[in-house]
Structure 1
């Protein structure tokens, strides 16, 4: 039987998604509090490890859909490399998407792959019809990740954020279940549900 740190629910062969792990609280905190992450979030105030650990306890019990992102390129040794979150609004079957990738794991394509896998789960398991996000307009690398994963630009909140101390727009992007194109690691014929 696999231990908690080895559970991978979805994988495309390069990137995998598994459950949040209590033993990774300090890593999650480190990724979130990295200065480049804070700039990307537009949040200038770091959070303490104690606060983040207490928050993780609530997240482990919460209603949001959260994944640990793994680099699974080294067989038998998945490396925790980030987190994705879907914050659903069950009344209208939509969710906000949030992503953080460990600084040392950036530039490997994991962000796009993790986003694509999370969309796959959101549309094919959680039965969401729309997933949306906000991203600061100057954060060009994040915008490319989201575009490559299937998000489209739908608007902007003017002067709603800060990027490196300057006021900027916050872009709104979304992906629709009706537009989500394959390949899906969940919807393929080879991944038939148990009992089918």
Structure 2
């Protein structure tokens, strides 16, 4: 398990499936996290989520599938979201990430920054990844601000590549190199003692 200042990232377990089901069927969360893809991701039956979990237990491949973590708060031990890394490339040492805070009362309170810092530290210093990338859609301004604050650079955009709620948006491509990663000093201090 990976510990930050406010959160702990834990591997998904069976007890987390109810929350994953809830978040996967929250239209706002899915739209913010997936842009145009949300139309294909809403209305997930719980059985599909359970089936995916069982399938991953039997045939999980770290390099192609990466890992999905459930985010728990340290203060209350409650699950508040999920994050993941995927598409690891052992030659270029790259990975893609994603984050979703499913419990809205935790938005804008530093949890997203702590999740990203904790995940990036693991990728850069445990898995020896050199570059982390992500994409989002231009209407998800809250996520873009969060990624910028974590040090991600805008690397490109696909113009009018997303269609959300009747309007076109750009796909925003962002990346962060290991040497650009500026870790939260509080996390560095805390990790020295754990």
Give the C-alpha shift of residue 107 in structure 1.
Answer: 2.8
How many residues in Structure 1 have an aligned counterpart in Structure 2?
182
Note if contact 1:19-1:66 (Cα within 8 Å) is conserved in structure 2.
yes
Separation in 2, partners of 1:184, 1:23: 33
**Larger % of helix: which?**
2
- What's the C-alpha RMSD, in Å, of the aligned pairs? 2.2
Compare 62-71 and 78-87 and name the one that shifted more. 62-71
- Calculate the TM-score normalised by the size of structure 2: 0.84
Give the C-alpha shift of residue 81 in structure 1.
Answer: 0.7
Q: Structure 2: which 5+ residue stretches go unaligned?
A: none
> How do 1:1-196 and structure 2 match up within 5 A?
8-12=1-5, 14-40=6-32, 41-42=34-35, 43-45=38-40, 46=42, 47-60=44-57, 61-63=60-62, 64-72=66-74, 74=75, 77-87=76-86, 88-104=88-104, 105-183=106-184, 191=192
Separation in 2, partners of 1:141, 1:86: 20
CA offsets 1:66-85 (integer angstroms, 9 cap, x no match) = 2211222x2xx311111110
Call closer, same or farther: CA 1:186–1:113 in 2, change over 3 Å. Answer: closer
Call closer, same or farther: CA 1:78–1:192 in 2, change over 3 Å. Answer: closer
- Calculate the TM-score normalised by the size of structure 1: 0.83
Separation in 2, partners of 1:82, 1:59: 19
Partner residue of 1:5? Answer: none
